[in-house]
Copies of this chain bind each other. A is one copy, B any other.
Amino acid sequence: MNKEEYFLEKYLKPCAGVNKQFPLEIGDDCAVITFSEDLLISSDNSVVDVHFPNTFDPYFIAYRSVAIAASDIIAMGAYPEGYLLNITLPEPSDQWFKQFSNGISDFNNDYGTNLIGGDLTKGQLNISVTVFGKKFKNIIKRGGAEVDDEIYVSNAIGHGKQGYELYKKQIFDLPNQYLKPKLLSKEAIKALNPILNSAIDVSDGLLLDLNRICEQSQKGAVVSINDHVFTNSIEDIVGGDDYVLLFTCPSKHNELVKKILPNSIKLGSITQEKEILVTDKTGKNINFKNLGWDSL
């Protein structure tokens, strides 16, 4: 048994699930997925010193990396059923893998998700997660927003940034949206799916991600940033790391949205004119030079 096999067998195989949808045990050249519905798939890298600090606990590296990737599946109106995990790390050790696999295991328990395969390699710490889910009723794209759709976020913006500030002060109290991003439940996204016209994962900043919806839908938006939209200050809306759902749907579903997502906040509505107008609580127009975060 070589080192790759040793760590895989000891720490990652016990995190892996075998069931009807994922019939093959880890240890072949591929994993197998047996879905009869369309499959949504997304792949995301989390790199040391870019997406998390180099002092980060391997438990949180694991939990956060998988959560961030899984968030993209929810953003298209589906649910993360399983994932592949490619780990690149400089010095593998039992201690590192023990903590890391605890993070994997807790994520899997929290979300009913399965690790089904992956790869271990030597190099700068870099976690690549490829996650997939089954289509519910519709595939919710960024480009589906309609004029007069109401615009919502599933929760206030800024919890990620707030969590990071706490982490920097070595305060590890949970919940912390930076350390362990909380995603929508399977029930919530399944119930929400049929009424959504468009959706995106708020990861690079609210305005940047709203801009993506508007551009791909060839529409504009009028949004009002009241105090309950952000956690700390209005600057939160150009920060990243939120992992909340930004979505649009016809206004007639207002009550259903509140029922499914009690913490959701209405921001405004979609317009025909292709520009985004942002006002603060006093009605004053606000401009942000920099709309959000860039990973390059």
Chain B residue with minimal CB distance to A211? B1
* Interface segment, one of A44-52, A170-178, A250-258, A268-276: A44-52
- Scoring A residues 271 to 296 as 1 if CB is less than 8 Å from chain B, else 0, what string do you get? 00000000000000000000010111
Q: If the complex has contacts A41-B33, A42-B31, A118-B43, are A48 and B296 also in contact, measured as CB distance less than 8 A?
A: no
**Complexed CA–CA distance, A44 and B85 (Å):** 9
**Complexed CA–CA distance, A282 and B7 (Å):** 39
Report how many residues on chain A are interfacial, defined by Cβ distance under 8 Å: 65
Contacts of A151 in B (CB 8 A): none
**Complexed CA–CA distance, A7 and B294 (Å):** 12
* Interface segment, one of A56-64, A68-76, A179-187: A68-76
Is residue A169 contacting chain B, with contact meaning CB distance below 8 A?
no
Q: If the complex has contacts A3-B296, A32-B38, are A43 and B130 also in contact, measured as CB distance less than 8 A?
A: yes
Contacts of A76 in B (CB 8 A): 28-30
Interface residues of chain A: helix, strand, loop or mixed (majority) = mixed
Asked if residues B41 and A121 are in contact (CB atoms below 8 Å), the reply is no
Contacts of A116 in B (CB 8 A): 41
Asked if residues B123 and A29 are in contact (CB atoms below 8 Å), the reply is no
* Complex copy number for this chain: 2
- Scoring A residues 111 to 148 as 1 if CB is less than 8 Å from chain B, else 0, what string do you get? 00000111111111010101010010001011100000
Asked if residues A88 and B121 are in contact (CB atoms below 8 Å), the reply is no
Is residue A2 contacting chain B, with contact meaning CB distance below 8 A?
yes
Chain B residue with minimal CB distance to A130? B130
Contacts of A94 in B (CB 8 A): none
Contacts of A292 in B (CB 8 A): 2
**Complexed CA–CA distance, A88 and B46 (Å):** 10
Is residue A86 contacting chain B, with contact meaning CB distance below 8 A?
yes
**Complexed CA–CA distance, A135 and B296 (Å):** 37
Is residue A53 contacting chain B, with contact meaning CB distance below 8 A?
no
Asked if residues B38 and A31 are in contact (CB atoms below 8 Å), the reply is no
Asked if residues A32 and B43 are in contact (CB atoms below 8 Å), the reply is no
Chain B residue with minimal CB distance to A49? B123
Is residue A109 contacting chain B, with contact meaning CB distance below 8 A?
no
**Complexed CA–CA distance, A85 and B43 (Å):** 8
**Complex partner residue of A29 from B7, B38, B48, B75, CB under 8 angstroms:** B75
Q: If the complex has contacts A7-B296, A27-B142, are A84 and B32 also in contact, measured as CB distance less than 8 A?
A: no
Task: Show 7 A/B contacts (Cβ-Cβ < 8 Å), sorted by A.
Answer: A2-B208, A2-B294, A27-B216, A32-B38, A39-B39, A43-B128, A45-B86
Knowing that A28-B141, A43-B84 are A-B contacts, what are 10 other residue pairs whose CB atoms are under 8 Å apart, sorted by A's residue number?
Answer: A24-B141, A28-B142, A29-B72, A29-B201, A30-B42, A30-B73, A39-B39, A41-B116, A45-B128, A121-B296
